Amino acid sequence: LNRSCSLLDLKPNFSGPPPAGPDPYLQGNIRLTLEDPDLWKTFHGIGTEMIITKPGRRMFPHCKVNLSGLIPCAKYILLVDMVPEDGFRYKWNKEKWEVAGKAEPQPPCRTYLHPDSPAPGSHWMKQSVSFLKLKLTNNTLDQHGHIILHSMHRYHPRFHLVQADDLFSVRWSVFQTFSFPETSFTAVTAYQNTKITKLKIDHNPFAKGFREEGTNKKRAHFRVERKLTAKCKSHLKNNISLFFVLSDFCRSSYEGYDAEEGDLPKRKEGDTVKEERYSPWAAEREHSVRTESPAGADHRDMYNTEQLVPAPASYQPYRFHEYGKSPSPSSSVGSSSSGSIRSSFESRVPDVATVPDHDSSKPRTQEVGPSSCGPQHLPAPQDYTGVLNMSMTPTNKPGVISHHIYSPYGAEQSLGQWNGPGPAQYPPPHHLTAEYPTQAVHHGYHHGNVAEWSQYPLFSYSCW
């Protein structure tokens, strides 16, 4: 059932020291499968939307993957970032998505580091890996480390698996990238497609209160009260008698209620979702038109692979058919390649934060699960919990990379072993936006020394 992709190619990030640990050859069977692919496909068939809010909003469905083929004893780091699907902004118009212009400048690029990282392969493989706590925000000044996105823009999550004992050795490590077409979504501040709303309510336990069975009366009552409150505020502000307020409310509120009841049959149409399986994004995903990509990007990906897992043939072609005339600009480009696993040599710079001064002798307080792999002098997993901020911050120490790690589980601890900017863990907002060097994207794999590396953000290729 699971969608999966096997490692088709494997190369070290760059010509640095060889990967620590076992022979990379042994890693050729690594598989990363998306859990609950049917649910994702159901959403994708309609056109997944993800709410983004200032305080941050979880994804639903949330990213959950299974890993296999890892070396049980070797340590791995698992990351997720969000990649723009294309260079456009969209709008919801008459029950479909339309291009509404060029994409806005890319927000500060962040990567979410799985809280368990780093952990041995046995840990990653023993159960599914959930990114439940990953949050999306539209607040470009966000200080919590959530992934920043633009509303009305399309993205898809991308998973990065790095074999590394810790974040400090990531640079010398092999990493692979995986993505799944059906996980693409449009970031929105309010749902546009009512079918998506219905799907979310039906499948998300937290939204159980909005399901049609049972609680309608309560919510209707709630709406009435809200309406009264709003009207009272409004009318009182204008010194209008409460008598008229109430009489007006009594009329209009029930009109509203009736109208909603009348809407129910429309909502029921959502039940036909499965029959109507289509996607506003049709075939464009296959083409991945990144029309706004920096020139020359194609030459950057020499040492990494992205395992793009296309939807099954039975799934995507109909979308292509249904939306062949989609206004989406990419739908008219290229051809579908569904039906086979594709390894995409997407341009990117495999730069990962590295701190040379890491004290490996520091006592460890916790290991990730039982391990029979002998002594491992590694930081406690939570040390790296959270999100990597891709922004660059001036540091006092030459050669120190100042990627910021945000941790929803303990910000203080998360950076405990980094020789980064210290108190500037949450840098002034201007660091978040202005210092993302797009030029870094073009010079990925020739790093002479650590100081030079510090110019480059982690996975900067994802932002253009």
Partner DNA sequence: TCCGCTGACACGTTTGAATCGC
Partner DNA sequence: AGCGATTCAAACGTGTCAGCGG
Q: Which is nearer to DNA, 100 or 333 (by Cβ)?
A: 100
Q: Which is nearer to DNA, 197 or 279 (by Cβ)?
A: 197
Q: Facing residues of 409 across strands? A: none
Least CB distance to DNA at residue 52 (A): 7
Least CB distance to DNA at residue 241 (A): 17
Q: Give the number of other CB atoms < 10 A from CB of residue 362.
A: 14
Least CB distance to DNA at residue 233 (A): 6
Q: Which is nearer to DNA, 222 or 430 (by Cβ)?
A: 222
Q: Which is nearer to DNA, 119 or 188 (by Cβ)?
A: 188
* Interface ranges with DNA (CB under 7 A): 51, 53-54, 57-58, 60, 91-93, 100, 133, 138-139, 151-152, 188-192, 197, 200-201, 204-210, 214-215, 218-219, 221-223, 225-227, 230-231, 233-234, 256, 260
6, with CB counted inside 10 A (0-12, 13-18, 19+), is middle
Q: Which is nearer to DNA, 206 or 254 (by Cβ)?
A: 206
Least CB distance to DNA at residue 217 (A): 8
Q: Which is nearer to DNA, 263 or 359 (by Cβ)?
A: 263
Least CB distance to DNA at residue 51 (A): 5
Q: Which is nearer to DNA, 91 or 377 (by Cβ)?
A: 91
Q: Which is nearer to DNA, 54 or 299 (by Cβ)?
A: 54
Least CB distance to DNA at residue 356 (A): 35
Q: Which is nearer to DNA, 190 or 242 (by Cβ)?
A: 190
Q: Which is nearer to DNA, 203 or 397 (by Cβ)?
A: 203
Least CB distance to DNA at residue 255 (A): 11
Least CB distance to DNA at residue 89 (A): 9
Q: Give the number of other CB atoms < 10 A from CB of residue 97.
A: 24
2, with CB counted inside 10 A (0-12, 13-18, 19+), is middle
Least CB distance to DNA at residue 351 (A): 30
Least CB distance to DNA at residue 229 (A): 7
> For residues 345 and 44, is the Cβ–Cβ distance under 8 A?
no
Phi, psi of 456 (to 5 degrees): -110, 135
Three-state secondary structure string covering the chain:
CCEEEECCCCCECCCCCCCCCCCHHHHCCCEEEECCHHHHHHHHHHCCEEECECCCEECCCCCEEEEECCCCCCEEEEEEEEEEEEEEEEEEECCEEEEEEECCCCCCCEEEECCCCCEEHHHHHHCCEECCCCEEECCCCCCCCCEECCCCEEEEEEEEEEECCCHHHHHHCEEEEEECHHHCEEEECCCCCHHHHHHHHHHCHHHHHHCHHHHHHHHHHHHHHHHHHHHHHHHHHCCCCHHHHHHHHHHHHHHHHHHHHHHHHHHHHHHHHCCCCCCCCCCHHHHCCCCCCCCCHHHCCCCCEEEECCCCCCCHHHHHHHCCCCCCHHHHCCCCCCCCCEEECCCCCCCCCCCCCCCCCCCCCCCCCCCCCCCCCCCCHHHHCEEEECCCCCCCCCCCCCCEEECCCCHHHHCCCCCCCHHHHCCCHHHHHHCCCHHHHHCCCCCCCHHHHCCCCCCHHHCC
Longest dimension (CA), the chain: 81
Q: Which is nearer to DNA, 31 or 41 (by Cβ)?
A: 41
Least CB distance to DNA at residue 214 (A): 6
Least CB distance to DNA at residue 300 (A): 31
Q: Facing residues of 34 across strands? A: 3, 65
Q: Which is nearer to DNA, 234 or 337 (by Cβ)?
A: 234
- The amino acid occupying position 232 is C
